[in-house]
A and B are shown apart, each in its own frame.
Chain A
């Protein structure tokens, strides 16, 4: 077993190291994320009640858009310098290696956005008790996004306009993530009001949405690594 996980850890470590070597990539993704959210109050006006109502949707859409360019580049460098080829000929199962890359991509691409989201939530006037929920839903849904993004990036690897293709593939497939993610965060508010009215533990609507999002993540955890691996294999043929 140790033999199988060792290359995975090696890939994770190498990817994190090279991400830390170019912190500008992470920072530019982060600033793109913040700029998208900044556009909304500028275009919509600064009515606090209105902004707080649409804040979950804005933050979610901004995360989806801001993670796209980085996800598209997930494999390009490794395709160019021959690392993908080496992964294919290595005895470790390709799907496992892809899973390692996907989990690392979550740390590098999604985690910075997730950590910045509560600050943006406060700027949009979200109440303080919702921020933990924002973190939780973005972290879980973000994993879905990278799982879908890895498939799309691998499928469009080597095409003429891989950036736009990745977007065309990712966005329709990640619509359920957006729906459950936004509904879940919005439900926290109503759950909170209900919990205030009735004492005692109750599982609210937001827990239900979290479970659906979790189920989606599990399905994608099974589906995405083999599909990504197969797509990489096609691109290296």
Chain B
């Protein structure tokens, strides 16, 4: 809470985020280069799935990011609805587009992976469908947040929608355990430790770090853009009044 109060000042927020931005970009770039090298060249092929397993290094981190991003947006929505700070709303708005992008990447790479492995581009099983619903929730949020004449008017309804949609997250996470589906079970985030081979786990985690760094950088950029856009709108409305 202290940290949130501290960051709530927009000028201070700008100062701190401009310091974080280059670090995030650098970490992301290095992790991406190293992670892609490991994923495509220096990691073993799967004994069952062959070379197609390399799709995993994009697919799985993107899916993690898509879910984490929604969770962060929902947390921002709580902050916005309870403490009414505009920065929390701007944060949620800034994260929506990257989040939707991650969900789309997950669906697309999953489809490319499903074609050689399952023999089909798409199956209507629980995990695929719930990820598709997550993508729809992102679209619904963006439509509602920008759907009003006055930009800020959409913030509260859209935040409320985010909270209602949180119910989908546990469904995605546990769908492969609850329902017996075509999608394979979890092999990293398990109670009894990861069942995935360390040689595959390492590039997976490094790719996740690359995506996280990129996500932080893009969110900072988008937040600062939104703050400036809001300032412009305020200045313009003030000018038209005088």
Residue ranges of A at the interface with B (Cβ–Cβ < 8 Å): 151, 154-161, 164-165, 168-169, 171-173, 175, 223, 227, 230-231, 234-235
* Most chain A CB inside 10 Å of its own CB: which residue of B133, B136, B161, B163: B161
Contacts of A231 in B (CB 8 A): 156-157, 160
Contacts of B140 in A (CB 8 A): 165, 168-169, 172
Contact B139–A223 (Cβ < 8 Å):
no
Q: Find the residue from B143, B149, B153, B165 having the highest chain A CB count within 10 A.
A: B143
Q: Which residue of A lies closest to B150 (CB)?
A: A158
Main secondary structure on A side of the interface with B: helix
Cβ of A159 and Cβ of B133 under 8 Å apart?
Answer: no
Minimal Cβ-Cβ distance residue in A for B161: A155
- In contact, A155 and B139 (Cβ under 8 angstroms): no
**Chain A CB within 8 A of B10 CB:** no
- By a CB distance below 8 angstroms, the chain B residues around A175 are 129, 133
Q: What size tier do the contact residues of chain B reach?
A: 20 to 34
Cβ–Cβ contact B147 & A159, under 8 A: yes
Smallest Cβ distance from B171 to chain A, in angstroms?
9
**Chain B CB within 10 Å — which of A161, A164, A169, A230 has the most?**
A169
4 interchain residue pairs of minimum CB distance: A159-B147, A234-B156, A155-B157, A172-B136
B10 CB to nearest A CB, Å: 23
B114 interfacial contact with A, CB 8 Å: no
Query: Does any Cβ of A come within 8 Å of B37's Cβ?
Result: no
A223 touches B164 (CB 8 A): yes
A158 to B157 Cα, complex, angstroms: 11
List, sorted by A's number, 11 A–B pairs whose CB atoms are closer than 8 Å: A154-B157, A155-B157, A155-B161, A157-B157, A165-B144, A168-B136, A172-B137, A175-B129, A230-B160, A231-B156, A234-B157
